[in-house]
Structure 1
Amino acid sequence: MTNSNNRTGLTRRSVLRGATALGAAALILPASMRAAKAEPKKGGILRIGMGHGSTSDSLDPGSWDNAYSQVFATSRHNYLTEIDADGALQPEIAESWEASADAATWTFKIRQGVTFHSGKDVTAEDVVASINFHRGEDSTSAAKPIVDGITDIKATDSHTVVVTLDAGNADFPFIMSDYHIAIMPAVDGSIDPTSTDGCGAYVVDNFEAGVEARMTRNPNYWKTDRAHFDGIELLPIVDGAARQNALISGQVDVIDRVDLNTVHLLKRSSKINVLSVTGSQHYVFPMDSRAAPFSDNNVRMAMKHAVDREELVEKILNGYGSVGNDHPISTANRFHAGDAIEQRTYDADKAKWYLKQAGLTSIDLDLSVSDAAFGGAVDAGVLMSEKSAAAGINLKVTREPSDGYWSNVWMQKPFVASYWGGRPTEDWMFSTAYKSGVNWNESFWSNARFDELLASARSELDNDKRREMYVEMQGLVRDEGSTLIPMFASYVMAHSTAVATPEKVAPNWTMDGFRVAERWWFA
């Protein structure tokens, strides 16, 4: 069955059996990077400067919540499945999979001959324990919402895992690529979340939260065409200027989250290449819907209409992105609403109207921001304050310290800056951040109709019907949700010309889908 509305060519059959493809976002490379690539060669220590990382970072796979911990995770771990640079779902620890006709039972064949860094063979029991860690009432894992549908999981032999769901889920193999669900060794049926033992490309030599992670190439890595560096040094450099200076001075070889206000300085250098990858990353401003004033949707709608999205894309992103429409589904997703939902624009009069519906002529709001959320977040807050004033919204912008922002400000204060890398499927994105009660529902929004549609769309195998439901969900988040989503931002990274990359860099996450350590090499 092929759905004519499926712009990516994704079919139900291709999802249920083996590898599948998602529409890959465009990759913009400087001319010097578009030449034919040389064959990768081994050697050298890659030093990566990341715009995240703090003393609260943990080895616990359920806690990984920033790009630093995610790059660290994918450097030392493997997963059942992997999304490649074309957006296609590829086998990793699972070498193949099949589903029942209703997509409610999935059978994964586990790759043989793969070992953990400790020397232990990877078996079906390890896979079961690794997934079970994120399940259950007592789980605090950020991945809990996307595995909640599992009613049973068992190893039927040493290299076969059968997963039973409470309803069909055509996207289930995609979920198994989630960066939290790393395959880790089981001991007496459970994993040790504090262990660094993995089956990935690099072995951990040292990890000090907020300081560094040092790794050495796994000599027994089963992917013989990956993991070209002798070692990896992963350094948290949260300050954007310091991160950029570290690259210019040669202290690091690669950086993420390039400051778009000064990206032109990097482009001038003959020793640096700038990479811009368009994907599903979006910058957001969640409003705590549990208490006044944001418990009133009229106030939320007033704020949404009081933001000049085009100005933010032009001045904050310097054109490296596009306007958002207050829902998290990008044009790269299969069921993006497109023209079915009108694009929201700046309208001070309409914002005033919504304030009037709330019984107000003006309102004072506090917005907490930090460039820890995204580069330019502070400046974005200032621009929002200037434009919202015309609507009677007096927005006081507070610049919060970058250190501790994610533990002390995010989901602690009522109106903050945040960001999301997006997800490969609509269900994954909505289940992670918008379903009622999930850990990362950062605005604490709850909507019964949305939750009902989310469950129905997940098990619906007719793509036309799924599209209708996902479009309605996008509309609900846009018009009743508690998150302002003004812009989608390209992933902008930079690296020394001594570093070589694949011809195509993945758009699903920053740093080549978090796989920089195993996909790149020294020229």
Structure 2
Amino acid sequence: MKNSALHLAGLMAATLFSSTALADELRLGLVLEPPHLDPTAGAAAAIDEVVYANLFEGLTRIDQNGAVQPSLATDWTISDDGTRYEFTLKEGVTFHDGTSFDAEDVKFSLDRARAEDSVNAQKGIFAPITKVEVLAPNKIAIEIANPQGNFLFNLGRGDAVIVAPESAETNQTNPVGTGPFKFVDWQQGSKVILEKNPDYVGDDVYLDRAIFTFISDPNAAQNAMLAGELDGFANFPAPETLEIFEADPRFNVVVGSTEGETILATNNKAEPFNDLRVRQAIAHVIDRQAIIDGAMFGYGTPIGTHFAPHHPYYVDLLDTYPRDLERAKALLAEAGYADGFKATLKLPPPTYARRGGQILAAQLREIGIDLELINVEWAQWLEDVFTNKDYDLTIVSHVEPFDIGIYANPDYYFQYDNKAFQDLIATLNVVTDDAEREKLAQDAQRILSEDAVNGYLFQLAKTGVWDARLSGMWPNSPVEGNDLTQVKWAE
């Protein structure tokens, strides 16, 4: 009885502690700290997890159902041939530093994103644009070379947010947008603080302050939540402890879907991975369910190619390379590696990578592939793996929506160069008929699976844990980001 009373007292104390943020403040945990805060100049999803829809806005935005909604553009018209878009812009909007927003800022942002020297991580989505024309301070026209079925969706991604020429160069450390929250402070290694923008033109938000705290260690994340030091984790890094939170009435646990294809990314130009037979051998060894169960405690959906299973164009290719150790050994022997070989596996901080890497290493050891596991921090991963392509294998989750087109870029960090695939994606990009787009997307999936470009593991689940008194948190992640515009505390 005494122990029960102490337990109850502890719960009450934790509840009181967590209530200090009620009504005006949200303390949200994130696994990864962004390398900087400019979504137009970096590939890290961690950037958008802080700033998307909160600090920066685009012409359009993506809602929690994956649908395109107006944002800085209130409405638009499309020419009959699908190659000219005319947008009407919100009026009276200002950037957080007080500078005005108008069509010139839109032209600057889009021309900057598609420029030859652009550092935009998704520069390809702007390639179809042939002209950006200012029609009036509140009207802009965008012309594209060919019809694009996903053009409005792409304009709603974090890479396409509108920035001002006055502040564009300093957005990495002092981001200035037009959104409902403005940047206050970045305590590097710890947290980013945003506050409500009193001059925001749009629907009012409920929160006055949002604090994003970076905790990559699963145990530390669990302790911070149970102690009331955080109000939530949009994607909780310790899936093995979700039962604890499910049994605690203070919390809501919501398991949804993400766009995150979790893969054993492969350097297709590095020996011996430039040999298809070696990649096929690895594909024959991977036990996806064992990785999902061991690393993610059952949360995740097996995939056989780089495509989200919840997408209507998805095709099930899990049986392309069934687990077959004898066939894998034979393929290695054919490639000249009968005795196996040694390689490195660089692992960024997320749970799926660190734990998944240990399981994968054990699986590949069964056919003589000996992996050296190298743990790296996120900034180092971005520099070594993504930018410099200095790696053999790595594990990472690609959370961009409908991003199969990255394989058409031979300079992307996979270094996969297939002209037939590139031509197929070029056609897919200009086709608007849904049935034809579906066929092309499925053909693209098959090519990647058959070429075993990467080891396709699972679709990352979104395991959200947050205070039961919160509403407005997204259960799914159709785009990378934590949209706080509708988040509020119960009255």
TM-score higher than 0.5: yes
Q: 1:403 to 1:192 in 2, by over 3 A?
A: closer
2:332 counterpart (355, 369, 389): 355
| 2:226 is equivalent to residue 248 of structure 1 | yes
Alpha-carbon distance in 2 for matches of 1:104, 1:354: 48
Alpha-carbon distance in 2 for matches of 1:367, 1:332: 32
Alpha-carbon distance in 1 for matches of 2:256, 2:154: 23
1:52 counterpart (7, 15, 32): 32
| 2:267 is equivalent to residue 294 of structure 1 | no
Letter in 1 for 2:229: Q
| 2:472 is equivalent to residue 505 of structure 1 | no
Quote the residue 2:404 is aligned against.
430
Quote the residue 1:482 is aligned against.
453
CA contact (8 A) 2:112 2:118 kept: yes
**What's the secondary structure of 2:289's corresponding residue?**
helix
Alpha-carbon distance in 1 for matches of 2:256, 2:58: 24
Alpha-carbon distance in 2 for matches of 1:212, 1:59: 16
2:207 counterpart (229, 236, 243): 229
CA contact (8 A) 2:257 2:476 kept: no
Deviation at 1:493?
1.8
**What's the secondary structure of 2:87's corresponding residue?**
strand
Alpha-carbon distance in 2 for matches of 1:398, 1:191: 34
> Equivalent residues in 2 for 1:2-401 (5 A)?
43-53=23-33, 56-59=35-38, 61-187=40-166, 193-194=171-172, 195-224=174-203, 226-255=204-233, 256-325=235-304, 327-338=305-316, 342=319, 344-370=321-347, 372=349, 374-401=350-377
Alpha-carbon distance in 2 for matches of 1:46, 1:187: 30
Alpha-carbon distance in 1 for matches of 2:144, 2:348: 40
Higher alpha-carbon deviation: 154-163 or 205-214: 205-214
**What 5-or-longer segments of structure 1 have no aligned partner?**
1-40
| 2:489 is equivalent to residue 519 of structure 1 | no
Deviation at 1:303?
0.8
**What's the secondary structure of 1:222's corresponding residue?**
coil
**Greater helix share, structure number:** 2
CA contact (8 A) 1:368 1:400 kept: no
Deviation at 1:369?
4.2
**Deviation digits for residues 348-401 of structure 1 (CA, Å, limit 9, x no counterpart):** 1221232133132132233424351x3142222222222223333333433445
Higher alpha-carbon deviation: 116-125 or 161-170: 116-125
**Deviation digits for residues 113-172 of structure 1 (CA, Å, limit 9, x no counterpart):** 333223333211111111222112211210212112212112111122211222221210
Alpha-carbon distance in 1 for matches of 2:337, 2:345: 23
**What's the secondary structure of 1:471's corresponding residue?**
helix
Letter in 2 for 1:414: D
Higher alpha-carbon deviation: 402-411 or 284-293: 402-411
CA contact (8 A) 1:133 1:191 kept: no
**What 5-or-longer segments of structure 2 have no aligned partner?**
1-20
Deviation at 1:222?
2.5
**What's the secondary structure of 2:146's corresponding residue?**
coil
Quote the residue 1:462 is aligned against.
433
Q: How many residues align?
A: 466
Quote the residue 1:10 is aligned against.
none
Q: 1:52 to 1:97 in 2, by over 3 A?
A: same
**What's the secondary structure of 2:101's corresponding residue?**
coil
Deviation at 1:435?
2.0
Alpha-carbon distance in 2 for matches of 1:302, 1:181: 39
Letter in 1 for 2:408: K
**What's the secondary structure of 1:458's corresponding residue?**
helix
How well do the aligned residues superpose, as a CA RMSD in angstroms? Answer: 2.5
CA contact (8 A) 1:154 1:163 kept: yes
Alpha-carbon distance in 1 for matches of 2:453, 2:316: 21
Alpha-carbon distance in 1 for matches of 2:149, 2:227: 48
CA contact (8 A) 2:462 2:475 kept: no
Letter in 2 for 1:198: G
Q: 1:60 to 1:234 in 2, by over 3 A?
A: same
**What's the secondary structure of 2:49's corresponding residue?**
helix
Higher alpha-carbon deviation: 273-282 or 138-147: 273-282
Q: 1:273 to 1:308 in 2, by over 3 A?
A: same
Quote the residue 1:16 is aligned against.
none
Instruction: Normalising by structure 1, report the TM-score.
Output: 0.83
Letter in 2 for 1:434: Y
Deviation at 1:67?
2.4
Letter in 2 for 1:389: R
CA contact (8 A) 2:56 2:179 kept: yes
**What's the secondary structure of 1:198's corresponding residue?**
coil
Letter in 2 for 1:309: R
Deviation at 1:73?
4.1
**Deviation digits for residues 53-90 of structure 1 (CA, Å, limit 9, x no counterpart):** 05x42446311513255323432111111111222111
Letter in 2 for 1:79: G
2:417 counterpart (446, 468, 477): 446
Alpha-carbon distance in 1 for matches of 2:68, 2:39: 25
Alpha-carbon distance in 2 for matches of 1:482, 1:154: 40
CA contact (8 A) 1:284 1:418 kept: yes
CA contact (8 A) 1:362 1:394 kept: no
**Deviation digits for residues 449-496 of structure 1 (CA, Å, limit 9, x no counterpart):** 111111111112222222222111111111225221211121112112
Quote the residue 2:6 is aligned against.
none
CA contact (8 A) 2:45 2:399 kept: no
CA contact (8 A) 2:74 2:89 kept: yes
Deviation at 1:92?
0.9
Alpha-carbon distance in 1 for matches of 2:422, 2:470: 45
Instruction: Normalising by structure 2, report the TM-score.
Output: 0.88
CA contact (8 A) 1:68 1:236 kept: no
Q: 1:117 to 1:422 in 2, by over 3 A?
A: closer
Identity %: 20
Letter in 1 for 2:487: W
Higher alpha-carbon deviation: 352-361 or 43-52: 352-361
